[in-house]
Amino acid sequence: MISQSQINDVISKIVTYYKPEKILLFGSYANGTATEDSDLDLLVVKNSDLPRYKRALELRRYLRPFKFLFPIDLLVFTNEELVNQSTSSFSFANDVLSTCKIVYEKK
């Protein structure tokens, strides 16, 4: 399983490089059901003019040289995208927001 120290290391690297507004932990590590096969699910909130896939690609390219020994599912939304998508009670964003843990928030 992924240790809290390893999770903190990933978060620290994202914060240092990407300067996000917020990072949300979701999925099995957020709800306490992680197993040996679980990945680390993070939703990073950052305002940007880039398309969503390019934001995530940029962040994945930065993290690649660190060679984390566990899979990371990384999503990057703007604040506006997160708010817009969370208005539907059946949306992915609404599901994430209802079960996530905020692991970083810009002060």
User: Which CATH number is 91's domain given?
Assistant: 3.30.460.10
| Residue 90 pLDDT level (bands cut at 50, 70, 90) | confident
For residue 86 the two structure tokens come to 């969370």
Radius of gyration of the chain (CA): 13
> How do residues 96-107 score in pLDDT, each as one tens digit?
998 999 999 999
Domain with 42, as residue range(s), is 4-105
pTM: 0.94
Q: How far is 50 from 98, CA to CA, in rounded Å?
A: 26
Count the domains in the chain: 1
Q: What is the mean pLDDT of the chain?
A: 95
For residue 21 the two structure tokens come to 């507004």
Residue 92 has pLDDT above 90, yes or no: no
Q: Classify 28 as helix, strand or coil.
A: helix
Q: Helices 52-63 and 4-18: crossing angle, nearest 10°?
A: 120
- Percent of the chain scored above 90 by pLDDT? 85
Strand pairing report for 72-77 and 40-45: parallel
Q: How far is 93 from 88, CA to CA, in rounded Å?
A: 9
